[in-house]
């Protein structure tokens, strides 16, 4: 069995050639398709057991759409999603309900994602009720208290309403709700982006503790390579609907091969202002997902672009053990990358632990 076949066998989630296109229609009486938004345009990756895979990239590159496709919140255009041996694209409604117990979500905005009219107890107990677990109220209440303690809150918080909590506490409630049904994989879509830096580190540490305790896997979606560095085991970098680089965290941060990853990393501030690193400024804005450039989709902004890049789309190829990059001229980072053990520029009261296996 090859290394990749072996990893596939251990994978909780396998995504292959996933595509989501939104048709653009014009015409009032007889609308016709005049184009397509290629939100996700052929994405493949695995998430292993007890692993955090980070999905990073600029706004609009298709991260949330990928997460929503996996959760079957939206229909796929094409591709395959295998989750614990279930074909998530083909699975019927009833079987999907069973699978959904193992597959939960934590949202970005802890203000919008909790129903303001419900008490915390009802919010956290809702998935238990929905799956018919712990039908007796007393048992449910005990489980809610247990979950509140798991996420660093107290039993008395159960009777309060969401507006009575801080952003970080609300995100803890969101995590407790996701944990209630003991899932295997949590898709966390920008779970700390709405929080201040020191609260971000507390939530990240909590997620890592929960992963260790329960063997959870995370698909951690973020636009921030600094946040991801601390929680991820592997990182996938997306650009305009495609993964352009995917690797172990250490490999990606030390030797990024794709010029897009190199540019993103060069923009991450350093804690030591005297450490010198050349910032790579990309020209132009990200093109629209409805007008993706031919050949390599990054060529319009790439400092290395040549004739071949305008004509041929580079495949994701292995550039080092388990490290894949989609670039005709993939080469290791020319600028030294320094390890950053804390958030940039800010002394946090809670140091963030590195997720290294």
Ligand X SMILES: Nc1ncnc2c1ncn2[C@@H]1O[C@H](COP(=O)(O)OP(=O)(O)OP(=O)(O)O)[C@@H](O)[C@H]1O
Contacting positions for ligand X (CB under 6 A): 22, 37, 39, 57, 59-65, 223, 289
Between 56 and 124, CB nearer to ligand X: 56
Question: Which partner in ligand X, Mg ion, none is near 259 (CB below 5 to 8 A by kind)?
Answer: none
Between 209 and 224, CB nearer to ligand X: 224
The least distance separating ligand X from the CB of residue 193, rounded to whole angstroms, comes to 8
Question: Which partner in ligand X, Mg ion, none is near 61 (CB below 5 to 8 A by kind)?
Answer: ligand X
The least distance separating ligand X from the CB of residue 39, rounded to whole angstroms, comes to 3
The least distance separating ligand X from the CB of residue 301, rounded to whole angstroms, comes to 16
Between 187 and 305, CB nearer to ligand X: 187
Q: With contact defined as beta carbons under 8 Å apart, do 226 and 340 qualify?
A: yes
**N- to C-terminal Cα distance for the chain?**
23
Residue span 51-90 as binding mask against Mg ion, x where in contact by CB under 5 A, dash where not: -------------x--------------------------
Nearest residue to 89 (alpha-carbon basis) of 76, 74, 105: 76
Between 5 and 285, CB nearer to ligand X: 285
Question: Which partner in Mg ion, ligand X, none is near 59 (CB below 5 to 8 A by kind)?
Answer: ligand X
242-248 and 11-26 strand pairing: unpaired
C-alpha distances out from residue 240 to 99, 193, 289, 346, Å: 30, 21, 6, 31
The least distance separating Mg ion from the CB of residue 38, rounded to whole angstroms, comes to 16
Between 241 and 314, CB nearer to Mg ion: 241
> Tokens 């660093």 sit at which residue?
152
Question: Which partner in ligand X, Mg ion, none is near 60 (CB below 5 to 8 A by kind)?
Answer: ligand X
> Tokens 């309060």 sit at which residue?
160
The least distance separating ligand X from the CB of residue 244, rounded to whole angstroms, comes to 13
Question: Which partner in Mg ion, ligand X, none is near 152 (CB below 5 to 8 A by kind)?
Answer: none
Total residues at the site for Mg ion (CB under 5 A)?
A: 1
The least distance separating ligand X from the CB of residue 258, rounded to whole angstroms, comes to 17
Question: Which partner in ligand X, Mg ion, none is near 65 (CB below 5 to 8 A by kind)?
Answer: ligand X
The least distance separating ligand X from the CB of residue 52, rounded to whole angstroms, comes to 18
Between 73 and 335, CB nearer to ligand X: 73
Burial (Cβ within 10 Å: 0-12, 13-18, ≥19) of residue 31: exposed
Question: Which partner in Mg ion, ligand X, none is near 323 (CB below 5 to 8 A by kind)?
Answer: none
Between 61 and 246, CB nearer to Mg ion: 61
Residues 308-347 that bind Mg ion (CB under 5 A): none
Q: Which residue is nearest to Mg ion (CB)?
A: 64
The least distance separating ligand X from the CB of residue 9, rounded to whole angstroms, comes to 29
Between 63 and 301, CB nearer to Mg ion: 63
The residues that touch Mg ion, with contacts defined as CB under 5 A, are: 64
């Amino acid at each position: 069995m090859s290394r990749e076949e072996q990893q596939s066998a251990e994978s909780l989630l396998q995504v292959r050639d996933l595509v989501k296109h939104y048709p653009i229609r014009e015409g009032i009486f007889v609308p016709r398709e005049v184009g397509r938004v290629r939100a996700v345009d052929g994405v493949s990756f695995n998430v292993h057991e007890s692993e955090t895979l980070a999905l990073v990239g600029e706004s609009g590159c298709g991260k949330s759409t990928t997460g929503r496709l996996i959760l079957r919140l939206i229909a796929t255009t094409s591709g395959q999603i295998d989750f614990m041996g279930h074909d998530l694209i083909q699975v019927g409604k009833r079987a999907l309900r069973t699978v959904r117990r193992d597959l939960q979500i934590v949202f970005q905005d802890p203000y919008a994602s909790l129903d303001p009219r419900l008490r915390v107890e009802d919010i956290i107990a809702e998935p238990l009720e929905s799956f018919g677990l712990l039908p007796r109220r007393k048992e449910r209440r005990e489980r809610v208290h247990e979950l509140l303690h798991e996420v660093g809150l107290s039993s008395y918080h159960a009777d309060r309403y969401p507006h009575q909590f801080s952003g970080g506490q609300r995100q803890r409630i969101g995590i407790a709700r996701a944990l209630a049904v003991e899932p295997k994989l949590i898709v966390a879509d920008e779970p700390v982006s709405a929080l201040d830096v020191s609260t971000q580190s507390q939530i990240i540490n909590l997620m890592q503790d929960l992963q260790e305790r329960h063997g959870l896997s995370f698909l951690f979606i973020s636009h921030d390579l600094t946040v991801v560095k601390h929680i991820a085991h592997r990182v996938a970098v997306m650009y305009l609907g495609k993964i352009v680089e995917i690797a172990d965290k250490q490999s990606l941060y030390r030797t990024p091969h794709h010029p897009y990853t190199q540019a993103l990393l060069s923009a991450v501030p350093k804690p030591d202002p005297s450490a010198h690193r050349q910032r790579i400024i990309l020209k132009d804005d990200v093109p629209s997902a409805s007008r993706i450039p031919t050949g390599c989709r990054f060529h319009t902004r790439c400092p290395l672009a040549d004739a071949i890049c305008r004509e041929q789309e580079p495949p994701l190829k292995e550039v080092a053990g388990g490290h894949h990059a989609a670039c005709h001229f993939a080469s290791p980072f020319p600028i030294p990358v320094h390890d950053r053990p804390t958030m940039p520029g800010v002394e946090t009261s809670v140091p963030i632990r590195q997720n290294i296996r």
